[in-house]
Structure 1
Amino acid sequence: MNKLIFTFLLAGSLMRSQTHRFIYDVVYKKDSASTVRTRENYHLDIENDHVTYYTRDFFIADSLMSNNLKFPVDTKLNTSSIIYHKKGDDQYEEFDILEGSTVLKLQSAELQNWKLTKESRKVKDLTLQKATTTYGGRNWTAWFTREIPFQEGPYKFHGLPGLIVELYDDKDNYRFELVKSVKRSDIPKNQFIEMSRQMSVPVDWEKYNKTKLTFYESPINYLKNASNRDQFYLNDGTAVNASNSREINDRLKANIKKYNNPIDLEKAVVYP
Structure 2
Amino acid sequence: MKKLFSILLIGLFTFGMAQDSKDAKETANRFFYELTFKPKKDSAKIEKVLTALDIVKDRSVYRDYTVIGQDSIIKVQVEAMQKSGVFKDMSKSIRMPKFSAKIVKHYPDMKIQYIERISSGFTTMAIAYNETPKFNWKILNEKEKIGAYNAQKATTEFGGRKWTAWFSTDLPFQDGPYKFSGLPGLIVKIEDEAKDYSWILQGNKKVPNWEELSFGEKISGMSLKVTEMPREKFEKTFNEFKKDPFATVRPMLTQDMMSKTIPGMDGTVGDMLKKQEKMYKDFFNSNDNPIEPPYQKLDVGQVEKVGKEKN
Q: TM-score, normalised by structure 1?
A: 0.76
Instruction: Say whether residues 1:241 and 2:250 are aligned partners.
Output: no
Compared CA separation, residues 197 and 260, structure 1 to 2 (3 A): farther
Instruction: Say whether residues 1:198 and 2:221 are aligned partners.
Output: no
Match of 1:21 in 2: 30
Pick the aligned partner of 1:117 from 140, 147, 160: 140
Q: Which has the larger radius of gyration?
A: 2
Pick the aligned partner of 1:219 from 245, 252, 274: 245
Instruction: Say whether residues 1:77 and 2:100 are aligned partners.
Output: no
Compared CA separation, residues 264 and 223, structure 1 to 2 (3 A): farther
Pick the aligned partner of 1:34 from 32, 40, 43: 43
Compared CA separation, residues 256 and 122, structure 1 to 2 (3 A): closer
Counterpart of 1:93, as a letter, is Q
Identity %: 26
Contact 1:19 1:187 in 2 (8 A): yes
Q: Secondary structure at the match of 2:247?
A: helix
5+ long unaligned stretches in structure 2 = 1-25, 80-87, 298-311
Q: Distance in 2 between matches of 1:190 and 1:261?
A: 28
Q: TM-score, normalised by structure 2?
A: 0.67
Contact 2:125 2:224 in 1 (8 A): no
Kindly report the root-mean-square deviation, in angstroms, between the aligned alpha carbons of the 2 structures: 3.7
Please give the per-residue CA displacement for 1:235-265, whole angstroms capped at 9, x wherever unaligned: xx998837995x9968966864562322122
Q: Distance in 2 between matches of 1:265 and 1:22?
A: 26
Structure with more helix by fraction: 2
5+ long unaligned stretches in structure 1 = 1-16
Please give the per-residue CA displacement for 1:202-253, whole angstroms capped at 9, x wherever unaligned: 22123212213322442343565799962799xxx998837995x9968966
How many residue pairs get matched?
A: 249
Please give the per-residue CA displacement for 1:84-142, whole angstroms capped at 9, x wherever unaligned: 12222231111112468342111112221100000011245421101000001111000
Q: Distance in 2 between matches of 1:43 and 1:241?
A: 36
Contact 1:106 1:204 in 2 (8 A): yes
